[in-house]
Structures are given as C-alpha cells and as structure tokens.
Amino acid sequence: MKDITKQSVIGFIGTGVMGQSMAGHLLETGYQVVVYNRTKEKASKLIHRGAKWADTPRKVAEISDAVITIVGYPTDVEEIYLGENGILHHLTRGSLAIDMTTSSPKLAERIFEVGKDKGISTLDAPVSGGDIGAKEARLSIMVGGDEESFETAKPLLDLLGSNVVYQGKAGAGQHTKMCNQITIASNMMGVSEALLYAKKSGLNPDNVLKSITSGAAGSWSLSNLVPRMIDEDYAPGFYVKHFIKDLKIALESSREMGIKTPGLELALSLYEELAQNGEENSGTQALIKLLET
C-alpha cells in the first residue's frame, strides 16, 4: 500500500454539512485535496481555499492516492465505489479508499472484497459528532477493515476526529455506527419528551439543562441539541432524512440477527411521521415539533 504523505493527493467526495469541514481540515494541514460533489456550489468554499475540482468520482480516483467519501445513502456509496465509473475501477493498485458514510455493513464487506481483488485497500469508517464535531475535528470515527490499512489511514483520520477506534474486520465500523444510532434513537425521544415536560410544567428550560446535563441524564444530544430546540433552531447538523436511512439499516441488521429493538422501531416510526410532515430536511432535533402538536 502507498504511504500517505503531504505529497499525496487526497480525493474527497461529498462536501455537504460535514464533508466540507472535514475536507477543510485536510487543506489546512497542507494536503493536496481534490473534491467532487453532485452540486459544485457546495464545494465552492473549498475550491476558493485551494482544493482542486474534479467533474466526476472517476476523475477524483484517477488522480488521487487516497479517496475519502461521505455521501447520503448506501445507493450513493454503491454507485461511487462499484458502479461502471466507480472509484474502485479507477484507483491504482496500492491506493486507499475510506468510506465515512453511514451505510450498510453488508455493502462495506462487498466493497472490501472488490477492493482486495483489485489491490486497493478499503475501510468503512462512519462518524458521529454531527456538524459541530466535524467543524471542531472532534468526530468519533469507527473503523472496519484490514488493520494494516487502518494504521496507514490513521494519521489522516486523526485530523478529522478526536476518537479514532479500530473495530475489526470489514463492516465492523458500520455495525458500530448502528450501535451508536440505536442509542441516539431512544435518547432523542427522551430529550424531546423532557423538554416538552419542562415547558408544560412551567420550568425554565435553560435552568433545567443546567441541572440535568451534568447528572445521570447527561448525553451529547442533551447538551448540543436541546439548546437548539429551545431556540427553535431546526437547521440540520444531521438531516432527519439521513437519520431515517440509518435507523432502517439498523433495524434491518437487528432483525437479521434476531434482536428485539422496540425503542428503535418507535423512533423510526416517529421520524418517518416527522418527515411526512415536511421536516425531512430539518435537523434531528425537530422531533420536538412532532410531540408539541
């Protein structure tokens, strides 16, 4: 496998809410970065800062030593990696591809096998921490794949997150992210219900937060998303539509393993109802709007 140095070209596919900040950290550290996004306008700030633009994922692959992807859905991942013009067909042997999308564990395993046949190392490395974690390079990164590939990739990943953990073979990163999303699913219901209770009982929500965030109820969602709920700020740090996608993957995997997940099922049903109400492009904290109706 190629060593990753400051002379390496790093491709970055997906410059949305999180990807833009993540690619920016690579630029700030001195890496040569080439970017692609379906909407070029979303990459304009990165291009202005020195990133090179490529018209297709194929072109990114052809000029990159390593490629990082963070896109929307497993279908996008499949097309970008395995499609006719997918990056695994155009990266050179010894290259590295890191998918940081929350996607299907089975797809991650498939990508790994195709990459292995072509002499390309692949990692599934989904993240948690939302837009704040991406901006502050404090993401939690969960990595599956070959351990040697992980060690090669770790200096890059350390620029994007503060908690980078190797979880095991291909697909292990995605399975770990499912654990993360299952935890968040029930927690989001809890923090929404707690805020609604605080409001209805006449309490000052800000004062309630001061008391409960440092106690046993403390969580990332409580500390970072409830203040947005209080301010009626529903801008996406993480889209409702993408959370629904994640919960469906988690539920499918859980059923395949024979696991009962009643909290996950309830959360998915509530978020689907929220999306049907026109909130699919809102942040996950918009769940409070459904409960308030």
Q: Is the confidence at residue 1, as pLDDT, over 90?
A: no
Confidence of residue 222 (pLDDT cuts 50, 70, 90): very high
Q: For residue 1, tell me if it sits in a domain.
A: no
The 10 Å Cβ neighbour count of residue 237 is: 20
Residue-level pLDDT at 284: 97
Q: Nearest-CA neighbor of 45 among 69, 67, 16? A: 16
Residues 6+ apart with CB under 8 A from 188: 221, 225, 267, 284, 285, 287
Q: For residue 3, tell me if it sits in a domain.
A: no
Residue-level pLDDT at 17: 87
What is the average per-residue pLDDT within 231-260?
Answer: 96
Residues 137, 17 share a domain? yes
Last residue of a domain, one of 117, 146, 169: 169
Q: For residue 159, tell me if it sits in a domain.
A: yes
> How far apart are the C-alpha atoms of 265 and 271, rounded to whole Å?
10
Looking up tokens 């993540």 gives 22
- Domain CATH for 64: 3.40.50.720
Q: For residue 4, tell me if it sits in a domain.
A: no
Last residue of a domain, one of 113, 137, 169: 169
Looking up tokens 């837009």 gives 131
Residues 211, 157 share a domain? no
Tokens linked to 179: 């654990």
Q: What phi and psi values does residue 156 have, to the nearest 5 degrees?
A: -70, -45
Residues 269, 131 share a domain? no
Number of domains in the chain: 2
Confidence of residue 6 (pLDDT cuts 50, 70, 90): confident
Residues 221, 150 share a domain? no
- Domain CATH for 283: 1.10.1040.10
Residue-level pLDDT at 2: 82
Q: For residue 71, tell me if it sits in a domain.
A: yes
**What is the H or E stretch that residue 127 is in?**
strand 127-128
Q: Which structural domain range is residue 278 located in?
A: 175-292
Question: What percent of the chain is modeled with pLDDT above 90?
Answer: 95
Residues 131, 197 share a domain? no
Residues 157, 188 share a domain? no
* pLDDT tens readout for residues 176-199: 999 999 999 999 999 999 999 999
Residues 51, 20 share a domain? yes
Q: Are 54 and 34 a contacting pair, CB within 8 Å? A: yes
Question: What percent of the chain is modeled with pLDDT above 70?
Answer: 100
Residues 196, 258 share a domain? yes
What is the average per-residue pLDDT within 45-50?
Answer: 97
Q: What phi and psi values does residue 285 have, to the nearest 5 degrees?
A: -70, -10
> How far apart are the C-alpha atoms of 250 and 255, rounded to whole Å?
9
Residues 180, 161 share a domain? no
Residues 49, 120 share a domain? yes
Question: Looking at the chain, how many residues does it have?
Answer: 293
Q: Is the confidence at residue 218, as pLDDT, over 90?
A: yes
Q: Are 175 and 45 a contacting pair, CB within 8 Å? A: no
Residues 246, 197 share a domain? yes
Active-site positions read 177
* pLDDT tens readout for residues 70-125: 999 999 999 999 998 999 999 999 999 999 999 999 999 999 999 999 999 999 99
Residues 6+ apart with CB under 8 A from 111: 77, 81, 82, 88, 97, 99, 122, 124, 170
Alpha helices in the chain (DSSP H): 19-28, 44-48, 57-63, 74-82, 105-117, 130-135, 147-157, 172-200, 205-212, 220-224, 226-230, 240-256, 262-274, 287-292
Tokens linked to 169: 């073979």
Residues 187, 139 share a domain? no
Tokens linked to 176: 């770990």
* pLDDT tens readout for residues 120-177: 999 999 999 988 999 999 999 999 999 999 999 999 999 999 999 999 999 999 999 9
Q: For residue 183, tell me if it sits in a domain.
A: yes
Q: Are 185 and 244 a contacting pair, CB within 8 Å? A: no
What is the average per-residue pLDDT within 229-241?
Answer: 95
Q: What phi and psi values does residue 86 have, to the nearest 5 degrees?
A: -65, 155
Q: Nearest-CA neighbor of 124 among 139, 108, 136? A: 108
Q: For residue 2, tell me if it sits in a domain.
A: no
Last residue of a domain, one of 104, 134, 169: 169
| Average pLDDT in the chain | 96
Q: For residue 145, tell me if it sits in a domain.
A: yes
